[in-house]
Amino acid sequence: MGDIPVRLLSVGTALPGPPVDTAALATAFGMNQVWRQWVDTFIGTRTRHLAVDLSTGERRESLADLGERAAAQALARAGVSAEDVDVVVFGTATPDTLMPATVNVVADRLRIDGVPTFQLQSGCSGAVQTFDVAASLLSIGRYRTALVIGGDVIAKHYDVKADLTALPPDELVNYVLFGDGAGAAVLAVGDHPEAPVLRSVLTRLSGLGRAPGQTLRWYGLADRDGGEAPASEDYKAIEEHVPVLAEETADELLDDLGWDRSEVGYLLPPQLSVAMTAKITERLAFPAAEEVSCVADTGNNGNALLFFQLDRLLPAMARPSRAIAVAIESSKWIRSGLALERV
């Protein structure tokens, strides 16, 4: 980043439909008590929101719908109009279409035009990557106000007629871990003394020689009957590597800033599942930090997660205080994090 302080003015979020608890998910897929007990014990996610109607398979909202709602809320909360936005950055693994990019559909609906827009093809580190790109452009004085958005909609991978008892574990796990949603934030330079300052952002590809932990395929006319699973997850590799990468990221942020662990008042840990997040939070061992998590209520909604955590952090963040967020993408392994300070 450059020398000009970048501040987080506001956050907005959007979730599709009512919360779907595990009992409702079990009923929809004809699963029973033992399945519900397993999700409660080993995943821990209480509810998730889905852009697909479980009873009909009909898609209720697109990523552009959710992104638009989240972004409009963030802009309204910041008191920023569409004309004030100088640059838009969107992160997602599940764009509505490969072209046009969802960022441009959302910008159009918000009446944002004539400015640079970028879409990052990203996973759970995507929100931090949008911050990295936007903050880099703001902190060198090129722009004053950025709208960053992240979200995912897994409806196309959510076959409501699937027989979950017949799915291999690496596909089954996707049905219980994930949810849909979008989030957005307004970052700006200038006179906003009440807004937290973005002290540091880091994103590090950490996948040298390492097989992907998560794979999401897309198909065209010629290869759509290829037989490969559209979405699969090496959950054992994820369990093994994510806690290590999270710790490396937190340590690097603290070292760069010269912050002591005990000076951090809020920790926003990776949101894989309630069970995994609890393990990682314990490992990160911030003695005085309040944990800010959302995955129990939202499910793992990928590029949106950090925005939901920030939405909970912002109204609660004391003055003065410091916060650290860590996110890990397990596809080709990207570790990422950011640090905020309210002074």
Contact residues toward another protein (CB under 8 A) are 31-35, 37-38, 41-42, 165, 168-169, 172-173, 235-236
Tokens standing for residue 64: 């552009």
Residue whose CB is less far from another protein, 42 or 219:
42
Q: How far is the CB of 167 from another protein (least distance, A)?
A: 9
Q: How far is the CB of 172 from another protein (least distance, A)?
A: 7
DSSP 11-61: EEEE--SS-EEHHHHHHHTT--HHHHHHIIIII---EE--SB-TTT--B--
Q: How far is the CB of 298 from another protein (least distance, A)?
A: 22
Residue whose CB is less far from another protein, 88 or 272:
272
Characterise 17 by phi-psi region: left (phi > 0), alpha (psi -120 to 50), beta (else). Answer: left
Q: How far apart are CA 37 and CA 44, in angstroms?
A: 10
Q: How far is the CB of 22 from another protein (least distance, A)?
A: 13
CA 44, distance to chain mean position in Å, is 18
Q: How far is the CB of 7 from another protein (least distance, A)?
A: 43
Q: How far apart are CA 129 and CA 242, in angstroms?
A: 17
Q: How far apart are CA 181 and CA 173, in angstroms?
A: 19
**Do the Cβ atoms of 25 and 176 come closer than 8 Å?**
yes
Residue whose CB is less far from another protein, 34 or 99:
34
Residue whose CB is less far from another protein, 167 or 257:
167
Residue whose CB is less far from another protein, 53 or 239:
239
